[in-house]
Amino acid sequence: MAPKWLKDAVFYEIYPQSFKDTNGDGIGDFNGIIEKLDYIKSLGCNALWINPCFDSPFKDAGYDVRDYKKVAPRYGTNNDLYRLFGEAHKKGIHVLLDLVPGHTSEEHEWFRQSQKAEKNEYTNRFIWTDFCFQGAKGLPYIGGESERSATYILNFFKCQPALNYGFLHPDEPWQLGIDHPDTIATREAMKDVMRFWLDHGCDGFRVDMAASLVKFDDEKKSGTSAIWKNVREMLDADYPEAAMVSEWSDPKLALRAGYHMDFYLNHPGGGYNSLMRDYQPAWWAGEEDKKDNSYFKKDADRDISRFLGEYMDWYEDTKEIGYISMLTCNHDTVRPRFNLEPDELKLAYAFLFTMPGVPYLYYGDEIGMRYLDLPTKEGGYFRTGSRTPMQWDESANLGFSDGCADSLYLPVDPAGDAPTVAGQEKDPYSLLNTVKALLALRHAQEDLQADAPFVPVCTEKGKPFVYQRGALLVAVNPAGTDVCAEVDADGRECLYKIGKAEAADGKLVMGPQSFVVLK
């Protein structure tokens, strides 16, 4: 059973180094998040996901953890984070931290001890072969950097040695099973980390690379799932209001493994990808530009079935056991303003915020912050352009920091028309105020919340996409022309609309780039 507060939750994702700097060092901090809690609440967001904020050498922007129980000094102190929990709770806002269970930094003390030739309690905390020149049977590995005569397995970048949760089918002496005391110790160590933060006021975790724990797993991830089910037992018993969302993008597996939510991620060719990012820019893998056929692109050759074909399979299979979470963007994804204009974004967000599940709004997407073409920073590569400082107002550094421009973590948008919160708050038709109105509607209407039924009504190409949420009828037309659906909406009350929407004689006529919710 998911915590009840998730039913009406709308999350706001914060990349802490880029949100608000209060001490002038050019890097965002916990006090900056506290300062902006009222703004976050004014959006209609009542929950936060904060990207990794633990002590780290920042070779991968904090996803290389050096100490799970200590915050990175650039953000503040542990007490500052505890205060953030408390201040958020006073305003009815829950807070999830980003947990990285599959690997640590190579500078973590667990790994330093594991590198030693002499056996100790951390010898098997990471995955090592038996010899300094022995590979790892197809897994990425590093050798020659440790006192220990062995090579170690990587979970992602070179700086991220894989924690040892065991192998589902060990067939080498160096491979331990998932029930070995040393691999169980790894699981228990991670549960201890979770308890530490939950006891200090955290409300749960977004879990990075949640499917990556057990190696040589079967296609159903039964070994990794067994670990998360064990974690869920602990949470249900001791922290029943704590929430878990997985970076897995396979809800059939993730939600049955014990997660309350699973992210619907931007995998090329996937259903979510077809909505806002169905393009291939030339800089991506050196390929040629491809026409943008994103569903919410005004002049696209759109087809909602590309989304529904995948989504409905997942939704029908999992709607009784957890939530599929769609997001406007995240720190790993190109911002939607890269290819969509503000009027297109309004419709995309209207769709996302009226769908089932628990939605996530990435900081800055509410004002249409642009994707910037920037050199890599802290392992970001192409993702760096989606991690730039929040744009608050027209003051120096667009209100992000009082520090010098050359000290900023990343540069702000240099364009003369860079969108800001202050600028859009004055415009009743701005993207920001559209987001506020949509989220207010979601909170006011139980039939638009996480678990209300969802039924597609009109999915035909060339017509508006019409769907039912409980007793409400919702329709969207991203095209630049009028379209019509044979749907009986006569006599229904209009709760909210963008553009023109008229119901008469058993037909729903939607004007160019329009959206409507009818009761």
Give residue-wise pLDDT tens across range 452-488: 999 999 999 999 999 999 999 999 999 999 999 999 9
CATH, residue 352: 3.20.20.80
181 in any annotated domain: no
235 in any annotated domain: no
d(CA 281, CA 268) in angstroms, rounded, equals 12
Q: Looking at the structure, do residues 291 and 343 belong to the same domain, yes or no?
A: yes
Lookup: tokens for 269: 């060719």
178 in any annotated domain: no
257 in any annotated domain: no
Task: Tell me how many domains the chain contains.
Answer: 3
Residue 501: pLDDT band (50, 70, 90) is: very high
384 in any annotated domain: yes
Beta strands 472-477; 483-485: pairing state: unpaired
Q: Looking at the structure, do residues 386 and 310 belong to the same domain, yes or no?
A: yes
Q: Looking at the structure, do residues 284 and 135 belong to the same domain, yes or no?
A: no
Tens-digit pLDDT profile for residues 228-238: 999 999 999 99
Q: Looking at the structure, do residues 439 and 473 belong to the same domain, yes or no?
A: no
Task: Please enumerate in sequence order all residues whose Cβ is within 8 A of that of 321, keeping only pairs 6 or more positions apart, or say none.
Answer: 255, 256
Task: Please enumerate in sequence order all residues whose Cβ is within 8 A of that of 275, keeping only pairs 6 or more positions apart, or say none.
Answer: 294, 295, 296, 307, 348, 351
Q: Which domain holds residue 493?
A: 453-518
Strand partners, 515: 476, 498
H/E stretch holding 181: helix 181-199
pLDDT score for 277: 95
Q: Looking at the structure, do residues 437 and 472 belong to the same domain, yes or no?
A: no
Residue 289: pLDDT band (50, 70, 90) is: low
d(CA 471, CA 388) in angstroms, rounded, equals 41
Q: Looking at the structure, do residues 388 and 413 belong to the same domain, yes or no?
A: yes
212 in any annotated domain: no
Mean pLDDT of the chain: 96
439 in any annotated domain: yes
Examine the pLDDT at 307 and tell me if it is beyond 80.
yes
366 in any annotated domain: yes
Tens-digit pLDDT profile for residues 353-411: 999 999 999 999 999 999 999 999 999 999 999 999 999 999 999 999 999 999 999 99
Residue 285: pLDDT band (50, 70, 90) is: low
pLDDT score for 282: 55
What percent of the chain is modeled with pLDDT above 70?
Answer: 98
203: amino acid identity, one letter: D
pLDDT score for 288: 62
DSSP string for 14-72:
E-GGGT--SSSSSS--HHHHHHTHHHHHHHT--EEEEPP-EE---SSTT-S-SEEEEE-
**446, 466, 495 - which closes a domain:** 446
> For the sheet containing 465-469, what is the strand order?
454-458, 465-469, 472-477, 514-518, 494-498
Q: Looking at the structure, do residues 63 and 137 belong to the same domain, yes or no?
A: no
| C-alpha angle 238-78-105 in degrees, rounded to nearest 5 | 85
Examine the pLDDT at 294 and tell me if it is beyond 70.
yes
**412, 446, 480 - which closes a domain:** 446
Q: Looking at the structure, do residues 421 and 498 belong to the same domain, yes or no?
A: no
Lookup: tokens for 329: 């963007």
Mean pLDDT value of segment 277-290: 68
Q: Looking at the structure, do residues 95 and 112 belong to the same domain, yes or no?
A: no
Q: Is 286 left (phi over 0), alpha (psi -120 to 50) or beta?
A: left
pLDDT score for 312: 98
Q: Looking at the structure, do residues 411 and 340 belong to the same domain, yes or no?
A: yes
**Is the pTM value of this prediction over 0.85?**
yes
The sign one gets for the Cα dihedral 345, 349, 350, 356 is positive
CATH, residue 153: 3.90.400.10
Q: Looking at the structure, do residues 316 and 408 belong to the same domain, yes or no?
A: yes
Q: Looking at the structure, do residues 293 and 437 belong to the same domain, yes or no?
A: yes
Residue 216: pLDDT band (50, 70, 90) is: confident
**164, 194, 211 - which closes a domain:** 164
d(CA 372, CA 364) in angstroms, rounded, equals 13
Examine the pLDDT at 243 and tell me if it is beyond 90.
yes
Examine the pLDDT at 53 and tell me if it is beyond 70.
yes
Examine the pLDDT at 493 and tell me if it is beyond 70.
yes
